[in-house]
Structure 1
Amino acid sequence: MRNFRFPTRITLSLVALGCGLLLGACSEGNETPASKEVGKVDKTTAAPALSAVAQVGEKLFFDKALSASGAMSCASCHDPAHAYGPPNALAVQLGGAHLDKPGLRAVPSLRYKLVTPAYSNELFDPDGTEPPGPGGGFSWDGRANTLAEQAAQPLLSDFEMGNISREAVVEKVRAASYAPLFLEVFGSRAFEDGVKAFAGITQALEAFQKEDPDFRPYSSKFDAYVMRGKGTLTVPEQRGKAVFYDPRRGNCASCHIPDLNQFTDQMYAAIGVPRNPAILANAADKFYDLGLCGPLREDMKPERSLCGMFKTPTLRNVATRSVFFHNGVMTSLEQVIRFYNTRDTNPEIWYPTKGGKPQTKPSSDFPTYGLITTQYAGGKVQKFNDLPTAYLENIDPQMPLDGRAAASKPPMSEQDIADLICFLKTLTDGFDEAADKKQPASGACVN
Structure 2
Amino acid sequence: MHTTLLHRAAALTAAFALATALAACGGRNAPTEATAAASVPALAASSLSLAAQVGEKMFVDTSLSGSGQMACATCHDPKNAHAPSNDLAVQAGGADLKASGTRAVPSLRYKEVTPPYADLLDNPDGISVPGPGGGFAWDGRAPTLAAQAQMPLLAANEMANADAAAVVAKLKAGPYADLFRQAFGAGVFDDTAAAFSKAGLALQAYQLEDRSFHPYSSKYDLYAANKIGGTLTPAEVRGFKVFADPKVGNCASCHYQGAGLNGSSALFTDFSYEAIGVPRNPAIPANADAAYVDIGLCGPLRSDHPPAAGNTFCGMVKAPTLRNVATRKAFFHNGVMHSLEQVIRFYNTRDTWPEIWYPTVGGKARAKPDANFPSYGLVTTQYTGGTVKKYDDLPPQFVANIDTQMPLDGRQAHSAPPMSEQNVTDLICFLNTLTDGYQPPASAPTTGPCTQ
TM-score when scaled to structure 1?
A: 0.90
Change (3 A) 1:429 1:215: same
2:341 corresponding residue in structure 1? 334
Looking at structure 2, the residues matched to 131 and 291 of structure 1 have their Cα atoms a distance apart, in angstroms, of 21
Looking at structure 1, the residues matched to 326 and 236 of structure 2 have their Cα atoms a distance apart, in angstroms, of 14
1:238 has 2:240 as partner: no
Change (3 A) 1:263 1:125: closer
Q: Which one of the candidate residues 263, 268, 275 is aligned to 2:268?
A: 263
2:418 corresponding residue in structure 1? 411
Change (3 A) 1:126 1:179: closer
Q: Which one of the candidate residues 288, 299, 320 is aligned to 1:294?
A: 299
Looking at structure 2, the residues matched to 259 and 129 of structure 1 have their Cα atoms a distance apart, in angstroms, of 13
Aligned-partner SS, 2:132:
strand
**CA-to-partner distance for each residue in 1:76-124, whole Å, 9 max, x for gaps?**
0000000000010000000000000010000000000001011000112
Q: Which one of the candidate residues 282, 290, 299 is aligned to 1:285?
A: 290
Runs (4+) of structure 1 exceeding 3 A deviation are 1-5, 18-22, 125-131, 437-440
| Contact 2:356-2:378 at 8 Å conserved across structures | yes
In the TM superposition, 1:221-232 aligns within 5 A as: 221-231=219-229, 232=231
Q: Which one of the candidate residues 121, 124, 142 is aligned to 1:123?
A: 121
- Letter in structure 1 aligned against 2:450: C
Q: Which one of the candidate residues 28, 33, 37 is aligned to 1:22?
A: 37
1:395 corresponding residue in structure 2? 402
- Letter in structure 2 aligned against 1:192: D
1:380 has 2:378 as partner: no
1:368 has 2:383 as partner: no
**CA-to-partner distance for each residue in 1:36-75, whole Å, 9 max, x for gaps?**
xxxxxx966xx77101110001011110000000000000
**CA-to-partner distance for each residue in 1:114-148, whole Å, 9 max, x for gaps?**
01011000112476754321100000000001000
Aligned-partner SS, 1:306:
coil
1:112 corresponding residue in structure 2? 110
Aligned-partner SS, 1:292:
helix
Change (3 A) 1:279 1:351: same
Change (3 A) 1:126 1:79: closer
Looking at structure 2, the residues matched to 21 and 171 of structure 1 have their Cα atoms a distance apart, in angstroms, of 38
Q: Which runs of 5+ in 1 are unaligned?
A: 6-14, 26-41
What root-mean-square deviation, in Å, do the aligned CA atoms of Structure 1 and Structure 2 show? 2.0
| Contact 1:2-1:267 at 8 Å conserved across structures | no
Q: Which one of the candidate residues 78, 81, 94 is aligned to 2:79?
A: 81
**CA-to-partner distance for each residue in 1:248-284, whole Å, 9 max, x for gaps?**
1101111101442100010000000000000000000
- Letter in structure 2 aligned against 1:235: P
| Contact 1:269-1:396 at 8 Å conserved across structures | yes
Report the count of equivalent residues: 417
Q: Which runs of 5+ in 2 are unaligned?
A: 12-29, 260-265
Identity %: 58
1:439, distance to aligned residue in structure 2 (A): 6.2
- Letter in structure 2 aligned against 1:257: Y
1:187 corresponding residue in structure 2? 185
Aligned-partner SS, 2:107:
coil
TM-score when scaled to structure 2?
A: 0.89
**CA-to-partner distance for each residue in 1:265-310, whole Å, 9 max, x for gaps?**
1000000000000000000011100000011111222572101000
